[in-house]
């Protein structure tokens, strides 16, 4: 039996592949499978932002505010995550606005870093990672965003943590999730796929292990192996 999406994540964190060298993860699939909550199980005090079309950049980066009658810069969740080497969860990432897209690019650059309106340059500390979620197909994301992800997983089963919360109702919930057959998508070969593979090769992983680490299965795994060996 193949690993579920959350088992893949847990293994990669345990094996110290996430958050380094892989630190950009996209989880897509039906609502309420535990995509957002799993970060709390895997990482200490993750930051979290729900993306929407009208999201102001301040809600990601931060902004100026009054403290003791003085105007000072206050970090937003994305900057806090980078400074402190923490995970940030970006829910509904497919809803990212054009205004925030450039910020998202910076958060997912390799290495990640951003220049604040104050002029300060913030580079991500060790431990920083991005977990983005969406109920849409990955192909709905702008190519420049999609290609930045190291790992893309179909979260079409209930996470172990959610199953524990549901208790005896987990079986009925499984049936509800299983009704949705609209998530047929295969990750194409891309520059970032090869970059992620190169990082894992430097850690001593063989191609078969790399494909497994990247969460690829079935035809996607076969295509990736052919591409890597081509």
User: For each successive 10 residues of the chain (230 residues), what is the average pLDDT?
Assistant: 85 94 94 91 96 94 91 96 98 94 94 95 98 94 92 86 70 63 74 88 90 83 85
In this prediction, residue 177 carries a pLDDT of 64
pTM of the model: 0.88
Q: What is the pLDDT of residue 136?
A: 94
Q: How far apart are CA 34 and CA 48, in angstroms?
A: 14
> Would you state the structure tokens that stand for residue 210, as one six-digit string?
């790399």
pLDDT at 194: 87
Closest CA to 90 of 170, 164, 148, 160: 148
Burial class (CB in 10 A: 0-12, 13-18, 19+), 32: middle
In this prediction, residue 173 carries a pLDDT of 66
Q: Judge whether 30 and 135 are in contact, CB under 8 Å.
A: yes
Q: Domain 5-169 - what CATH class? A: alpha beta
Angle, nearest 10°, between helix axes 191-202 and 218-229?
80
Q: Say what the pLDDT of residue 115 is.
A: 96
Q: What is the pLDDT of residues 3-42, one digit of tens each?
A: 889 999 999 999 999 999 999 999 999 888 899 999 999 9
* pLDDT value for 89: 98
């Amino acid at each position: 039996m193949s690993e579920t999406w959350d088992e893949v994540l847990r293994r990669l964190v345990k094996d110290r592949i996430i958050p380094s060298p892989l630190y950009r993860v996209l989880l897509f699939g039906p609502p309420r499978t535990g995509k957002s909550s799993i970060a709390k199980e895997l990482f200490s005090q993750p930051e979290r932002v729900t993306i929407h079309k009208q999201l102001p950049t301040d809600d990601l980066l931060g902004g100026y505010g009054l403290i003791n009658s003085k105007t000072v810069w206050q970090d937003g969740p994305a900057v806090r995550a980078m400074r402190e080497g923490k995970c940030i969860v970006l829910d509904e990432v497919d809803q990212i606005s054009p205004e925030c897209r450039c910020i998202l690019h910076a958060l997912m650059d390799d290495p990640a870093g951003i220049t604040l309106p104050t002029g300060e340059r913030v580079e991500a500390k060790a431990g920083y990672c991005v977990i983005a979620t969406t109920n849409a197909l990955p192909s709905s994301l702008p190519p420049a965003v999609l290609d930045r992800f190291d790992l893309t997983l179909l979260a079409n089963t209930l996470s172990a943590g959610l199953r524990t919360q549901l208790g005896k109702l987990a079986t009925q919930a499984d049936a509800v999730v299983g009704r949705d057959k609209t998530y047929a998508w295969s990750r194409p070969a891309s520059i970032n796929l090869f970059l992620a593979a190169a990082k894992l090769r430097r850690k001593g992983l063989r191609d078969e292990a790399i494909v497994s680490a990247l969460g690829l299965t079935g035809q996607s795994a076969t295509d990736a192996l052919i591409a890597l060996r081509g």
